[in-house]
Amino acid sequence: MPNLIRIMPAEGKFMKNDKRLRGSFREGVFLFFVKEEFMNQPEASLAIQVLPQSVTGEEVLNIVDKVIAYIKNTGLKTAVGPFETVIEGGFEELMEIAAECQRTCIREGSAGLLTYMKMAYNPNGGVWSIEKKTAGHINEKT
């Protein structure tokens, strides 16, 4: 059963209203099964754009390329676009990645930066995946 989650110990309230789960309480342990429809849904999706300041021309692209390389190295699902990169994962890990993207810009020579972020977050039902949101639109000829 690949979708079994065993939570222990069983103390207090644990995600009683989480629509992704169904479960039972046995011998002091909560046993939950993730509903199939939610198996591959990420908890959050982050779109991030960094704009290094006090650098010019190719330097901007080099710094942005370093940030994109860092994001790809996280092992999370990503989609790189001309204005932003989208990352899927857990809320906390995406917030840490956003912080590290900014630190990367500074380490690579930017005196400061502007960061634009959009986040979809739903801990109880997940968010639509990159594929679902872009189905039929990637490489579409206009």
Task: Tell me, yes or no, whether 128 and 112 share the same domain.
Answer: yes
Task: Tell me, yes or no, whether 55 and 99 share the same domain.
Answer: yes
The answer to the question of residue 139 being in a domain is no
The answer to the question of residue 55 being in a domain is yes
The range of the structural domain enclosing residue 34 comes to: 4-38
Domains in the chain, number: 2
The answer to the question of residue 123 being in a domain is yes
**What digits encode the pLDDT tens for the residues 109-135?**
999 999 999 999 998 878 988 888 888
**What digits encode the pLDDT tens for the residues 37-57?**
555 678 999 999 999 999 988
Task: Tell me, yes or no, whether 9 and 59 share the same domain.
Answer: no
Residues 6+ away with beta carbon under 8 Å from 16: none
Q: What is the DSSP string of 56-90?
A: -THHHHHHHHHHHHHHHHT-S-EEE-SS-EEEEE-
- In this structure, what token pair is assigned to residue 109? 């020579």
Q: How far is CA 18 from CA 32, 122, 127, in A?
A: 11, 10, 14
Task: Tell me, yes or no, whether 119 and 68 share the same domain.
Answer: yes
Q: Of 100, 90, 86, which is closest to residue 48 (Cα–Cα)? A: 86
Quote the pTM value: 0.70
Separate counts of helices (H) and strands (E) for the chain: 3, 7
Task: Tell me, yes or no, whether 34 and 48 share the same domain.
Answer: no
Task: Tell me, yes or no, whether 32 and 61 share the same domain.
Answer: no
